[in-house]
């Protein structure tokens, strides 16, 4: 019994879809920050932890992770680590270089900032796994055609 052959994936096509997935997720993450008007890198006191902050730390990266998996395909859960790291690092460097903080705000110490980056990355990874589950309709390493049996009976051997 032969298994259905999948078409070969070209390396250039895979790189192109990876770059497209990364760019789309970075753009989504960046504009999610701007839309919610949240800057994780600047601590402003107790008002820092708002509902918008929770959305920006957990929901926006989750959506970015889903976008990465939907564009890149299987393996997107490994690629979705990078967009939140890229966005958070650029934002931290921008705040460090310009010193443009809101009144009463201060740049987050690097250790605490790293903790929040880990939270954001984990939310993106959950989104990446959800995106792969949406694509595959199941979770695991085995290809879908090996898990589910076809509804048609197997072909009969004409020589038997």
pLDDT tens digits for 48-97? 788 999 999 999 999 999 999 999 888 888 899 999 999 999 999 998 99
Is 135 part of any domain?
Answer: yes
Residue 20 lies in a domain: no
Q: Quick check: is 29 in a domain? A: no
pLDDT band at 123 (very low <50, low <70, confident <90, very high): very high
Residue 75 within a domain: yes
**How many distinct structural domains can be found in the chain?**
1
The answer to whether residue 158 is domain-embedded is no
Q: Is the model's pLDDT at 128 over the cut of 70? A: yes
Residue 83 lies in a domain: yes
What global pTM score does this model have? Answer: 0.76
Q: What is the pLDDT of residue 68?
A: 93
- How far is it, in rounded angstroms, from Cα 8 to Cα 4? 12
Q: What angle do CA 122, 82, 33 make, to 5 degrees?
A: 75
Residue 88, domain member (yes or no): yes
- Domain extent, residue 61, equals 40-140
Reported as a single tens digit per residue, the pLDDT across 9-32 is 667 778 888 999 999 999 999 999
- The pLDDT assigned to 150 comes to 57
Is residue 159 a part of any domain in this protein? no
How large a percentage of the chain has pLDDT more than 90?
A: 45
What is the three-class DSSP state of 8?
Answer: coil
Least confident of 4-8, 23-27, 39-43, 115-119: 4-8
């Amino acid at each position: 019994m032969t298994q259905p052959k999948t078409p070969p994936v070209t390396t250039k096509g895979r790189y192109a879809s990876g770059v497209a997935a990364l760019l789309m997720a970075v753009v989504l993450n960046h504009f999610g920050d701007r839309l919610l008007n949240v800057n994780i890198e600047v601590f402003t006191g107790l008002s820092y932890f708002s509902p918008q902050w929770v959305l920006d730390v957990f929901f926006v990266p989750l959506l970015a992770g889903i976008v990465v998996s939907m564009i890149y395909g299987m393996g997107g859960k490994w690629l979705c680590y990078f967009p939140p790291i890229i966005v958070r690092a650029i934002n931290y460097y921008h705040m460090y270089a310009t010193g443009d903080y809101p009144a009463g705000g201060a740049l987050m110490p690097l250790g605490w900032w790293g903790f929040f980056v880990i939270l954001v990355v984990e939310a993106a990874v959950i989104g990446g796994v959800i995106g792969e589950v949406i694509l595959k309709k199941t979770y695991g390493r085995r290809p879908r055609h090996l898990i589910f049996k076809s509804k048609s009976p197997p072909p009969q051997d004409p020589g038997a």
